[in-house]
């Protein structure tokens, strides 16, 4: 499981074993699920301004999510090595 706080500290994001990224508002105690990876998500990173969350998965994709509502904005497919 990978966890990370948004640069502002208001959101906590984690990944689970079902191909999902989970965003929680730490003050309100509510959140939502960002679904999309067909393999396990393996890494998370925020844009410096916190407006986007990037998740990398074992499905060989990187996905960009809008952090305010969880909409999937872009998918990049990574080449297979080996």
Residue-wise pLDDT for 2-32, tens only, equals 788 888 888 888 887 777 788 888 888 888 8
CA-derived radius of gyration, the chain: 12
With a threshold of 0.85, does the pTM exceed it?
no
- Whole-angstrom distance, CA of residue 64 vs CA of residue 82: 26
Helices and strands in the chain, H and E counts: 0, 8
What integer pLDDT is reported at residue 82 of this predicted model? 63
**Mean pLDDT throughout 47-61?**
90
- Whole-angstrom distance, CA of residue 69 vs CA of residue 79: 29
**Is pLDDT at 62 greater than 90 in this prediction?**
yes
Look up residue 34 and give its two tokens.
């960002």
């Amino acid at each position: 499981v990978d966890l990370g706080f948004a640069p502002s500290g208001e959101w906590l994001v984690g990944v689970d074993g079902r191909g999902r990224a989970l965003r929680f508002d730490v003050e309100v105690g509510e959140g939502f699920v960002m679904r999309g990876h067909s393999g396990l998500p393996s890494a998370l990173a925020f844009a410096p301004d916190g407006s986007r969350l990037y998740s990398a998965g074992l499905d060989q994709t990187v996905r960009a999510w809008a952090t305010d509502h969880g909409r999937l904005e872009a998918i990049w497919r990574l080449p297979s090595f080996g």
